[in-house]
């Protein structure tokens, strides 16, 4: 009987064979050490818990008594409503033996550098496993870097697991000394602890144009406030963005609606035929007001969300965007079932625009959520469109235009780095001035959640350790933080291969100075992988649309991919982000397929397929046209 285990580093749930009981193995997602308990011990440890899955794909267990309450995801910080036991469900758990090939670790991991704690089990501070599959989810990378930078010279050891404790609205902002005068009077809807103008100390120290980073269009031209209002129609996770009166009026309705949709969507996702179409249409009809509000938001050409700038800042719009994506995917499917291709294309345009808008002034997690949205569109929504018997060459032309526009929008690499930098510098500033999360009075108040937030990021004792550091130590690390940013930012126009290889060189340089810096770059690789994977899926899908158009228009076998793409109005075949040239086309089982060489950069002629797991980057990324329904 397999033993169920959960990685302490990235939260991935796995199955291990009985023969590994009592042994240590490496997590295939983040390389953290997992201790495989005996079957009896595993049963005791499991206890009465609920498995929760965040929009960033992080899975974690919570106590059953927390059902119905709101908590923050320990990986990305999104606000999540804990489902009730009867509504909770778990994804299929991979077989650990298959993924690991029984790879064993050293007999015992290193001990913690904090001698008084006498910890023996190490916890990695990376969240690389979160990007497996949909590529969504990465830990607070720069926060780990800060702990690394603040460690006294000459010390060695391990960084603690960087989770996130549940936070109350308002605890995430810096206090008077850090951001006084920067926040304007709260006007709803707005994100909790929203910072609309950069603090003076941030403008002084940052190695980029901070004013441009914070610049937002006027409220009556910014789509973000309208998005927040629209998202509230889809989920009650948005309630912190509204007044108490608005919450009392809207949250109960949004919560009931969201709960019904979650139940139907889970069944529909497994097997669309298992759900009564009338029931599907009924729940989709309840979101009509939300659809109208989304359309109003997207009539505005500009969108800049304005979140807080601390490690405890809430980003509820990220999880809400995932819910909207699920609703629109189901709606598109129902449109196609009725033969309404035009309406399905409208839904697709809404989703692609949304995936671009959530990235602005966000951290790495916003980039990864954007990637997850777009990948669901390319892997689920568009194939169903291409399978429609009502599809025409004109529809394909519309779809081609949408995907080219998406590709020209860029990958938001610098935007994510700047968001992480701002958060990191805010952390350093508060630590130096003992403000915000490091205000001693707030930390000492038992009823305040500040201590819980900090202790959620670090192992027990680390908060006190940081508070004992000399204030000038924090100030002295700003130059090192700037050095890190400049080194990584130089890769903004680099290829996936260059980003990963250069990151390895940067890692070696920091290892010679501070050993704990090694915990940062694996998460950076996760961002690079997510960007490359999203580009590859988007461009491969674009080639597939061109191929479908050729079939509809010509009705003959395609001669080559270049001819097919030019017939679709493209100047050239899209470039393969993993290779040195364009995408390729070949014939498999008598049918044309398009493929990328994949992260192993080897052309296997589409005979060996990559399953999107960055930890097992073997094979080509293959795209096939679906059967026409």
Q: What is the pLDDT of residues 400-423, one digit of tens each?
A: 999 999 999 988 888 988 988 888
So what's the pLDDT on residue 624? Answer: 95
**DSSP, residue by residue, 110-168:** PPPS-GGG---S------GGGGSSS------HHHHHHHHHHSPTT----PPP-------
Mean pLDDT of the chain: 76
So what's the pLDDT on residue 327? Answer: 97
Distance CA(562)–CA(582), nearest Å, equals 9
Q: Is the peptide bond before 189 cis (omega within 30 degrees of 0)?
A: yes
Q: What is the pLDDT of residues 32-77, one digit of tens each?
A: 556 576 555 444 444 456 777 765 556 667 666 566 665 666 655 5
Q: What is the DSSP code (8-state) at residue 57? A: -
Q: What is the DSSP code (8-state) at residue 579? A: S
**25 pLDDT band (50/70/90 cuts)?**
low
Both structure tokens of 263: 């139940």
**92 pLDDT band (50/70/90 cuts)?**
very low
Question: What 3-state DSSP class applies to 102?
Answer: coil
Question: What 3-state DSSP class applies to 6?
Answer: strand
- CATH level 2 (architecture), domain 531-624: 2-Layer Sandwich (3.30)
**157 pLDDT band (50/70/90 cuts)?**
very low
pLDDT at residue 364 above 70?
Answer: yes
Phi, psi at residue 310, to the nearest 5°? -110, 170
Angle at 282 between CA 279 and CA 286, to 5 degrees: 140
Residue extent(s) of CATH 3.30.700 domains in the chain: 531-624
Q: What's the rounded mean pLDDT across residues 503-522?
A: 55
Question: What 3-state DSSP class applies to 220?
Answer: coil
Handedness of CA 234, 238, 239, 242 (dihedral sign): negative
Given a contact cutoff of 8 angstroms between Cβ atoms, the answer to whether 398 and 391 are in contact is no
171/418: higher pLDDT: 418
Q: What's the rounded mean pLDDT across residues 329-346?
A: 96
Handedness of CA 548, 336, 274, 236 (dihedral sign): positive
451/91: higher pLDDT: 451
Q: What is the pLDDT of residues 229-278, one digit of tens each?
A: 999 999 999 999 999 999 999 999 999 999 999 999 999 999 999 999 99
pLDDT at residue 96 above 50?
Answer: no
Given a contact cutoff of 8 angstroms between Cβ atoms, the answer to whether 387 and 629 are in contact is yes
Q: What is the pLDDT of residues 382-393, one digit of tens each?
A: 999 999 999 999
Other CB atoms within 10 Å distance of the CB of residue 10: 29
Q: Which residues pair with 432 in a beta bridge?
A: none
Measure CA of the first residue to CA of the last residue in the chain; give whole Å: 41
So what's the pLDDT on residue 423? Answer: 86
pTM greater than 0.85: no
Q: Which residues pair with 70 in a beta bridge?
A: 81
């Amino acid at each position: 009987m397999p033993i169920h285990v959960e990685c302490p580093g990235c939260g991935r749930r796995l199955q291990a064979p009985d023969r590994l009981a009592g042994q240590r193995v490496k997590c295939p997602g983040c390389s953290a050490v997992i201790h495989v308990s005996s079957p009896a011990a595993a049963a005791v440890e499991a206890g009465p818990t609920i498995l929760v899955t965040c929009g960033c794909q992080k899975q974690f267990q919570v106590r059953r008594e927390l059902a119905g309450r709101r908590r923050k995801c320990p990986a990305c910080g999104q606000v999540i409503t804990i489902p009730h036991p009867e509504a909770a469900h778990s994804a299929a758990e991979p077989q650990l033996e298959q993924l690991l090939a029984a790879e064993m670790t050293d007999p015992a991991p290193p001990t913690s550098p904090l001698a008084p704690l006498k910890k023996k089990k190490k916890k990695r501070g990376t969240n690389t496993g979160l990007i497996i599959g949909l590529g969504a989810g990465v830990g607070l990378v720069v926060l780990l870097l800060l702990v690394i930078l603040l460690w006294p010279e000459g010390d060695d050891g391990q960084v603690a697991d960087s989770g996130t404790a549940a936070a109350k609205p308002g605890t995430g902002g810096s206090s008077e000394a850090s951001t006084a005068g920067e926040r304007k009077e709260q006007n709803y809807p707005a994100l909790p602890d929203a910072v609309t103008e950069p603090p003076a100390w941030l403008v002084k120290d940052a190695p980029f144009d901070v004013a441009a980073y914070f610049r937002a269009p006027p409220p009556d031209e910014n789509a973000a406030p309208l998005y927040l209002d629209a998202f509230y129609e889809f989920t009650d996770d948005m309630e912190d963005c509204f007044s108490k009166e608005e919450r009392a009026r809207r949250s109960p309705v949004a919560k009931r609606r969201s709960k019904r949709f979650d139940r139907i969507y889970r069944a529909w996702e497994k097997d669309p035929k298992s759900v009564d179409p009338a029931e599907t249409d009924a729940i989709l009809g309840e979101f009509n007001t939300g659809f109208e509000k989304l359309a109003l938001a997207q009539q505005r050409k500009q969108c800049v969300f304005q979140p807080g700038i601390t490690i405890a800042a809430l980003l509820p719009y990220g999880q809400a965007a995932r819910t909207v994506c699920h609703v629109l995917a189901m709606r598109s499917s129902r449109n196609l079932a009725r033969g309404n291709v035009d309406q399905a294309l409208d839904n697709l345009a809404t989703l692609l625009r949304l995936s671009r808008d959530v990235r602005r002034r966000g951290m790495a997690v916003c980039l990864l959520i954007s990637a997850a949205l777009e990948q669901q569109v390319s892997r689920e929504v568009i194939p169903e469109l291409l399978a429609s018997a009502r599809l025409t060459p004109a529809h394909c032309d519309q779809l081609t235009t949408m995907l080219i526009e998406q590709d020209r929008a860029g990958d938001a690499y610098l935007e994510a780095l700047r968001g992480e930098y701002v958060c990191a510098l805010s952390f350093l500033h508060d630590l130096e001035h003992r403000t915000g999360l490091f205000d001693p009075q707030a930390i000492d108040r038992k009823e305040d959640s500040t201590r819980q937030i900090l202790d959620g990021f670090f192992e027990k004792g680390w908060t006190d350790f940081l508070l004992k550091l000399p204030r000038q130590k924090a100030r002295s690390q700003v130059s090192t933080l700037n050095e890190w940013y400049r080194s990584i930012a130089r890769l903004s126009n680099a290829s996936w291969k260059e980003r990963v290889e250069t990151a390895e060189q940067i890692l070696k340089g920091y290892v010679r100075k501070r050993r704990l810096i090694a915990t940062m770059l694996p998460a950076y690789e996760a961002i690079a992988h997510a960007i490359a994977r999203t580009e590859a899926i988007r461009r491969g899908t674009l080639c597939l649309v061109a191929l479908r158009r050729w079939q509809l228009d010509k009705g003959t076998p395609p001669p080559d991919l270049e001819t097919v793409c030019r017939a679709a109005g493209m100047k050239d075949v899209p470039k393969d982000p993993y290779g040195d040239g364009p995408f390729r086309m070949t014939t498999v089982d008598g049918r044309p397929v398009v493929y990328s060489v994949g992260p192993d950069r080897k052309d296997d002629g589409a005979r060996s397929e990559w399953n999107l797991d960055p930890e097992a980057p073997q094979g080509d990324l293959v795209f096939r046209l679906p059967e026409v329904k």
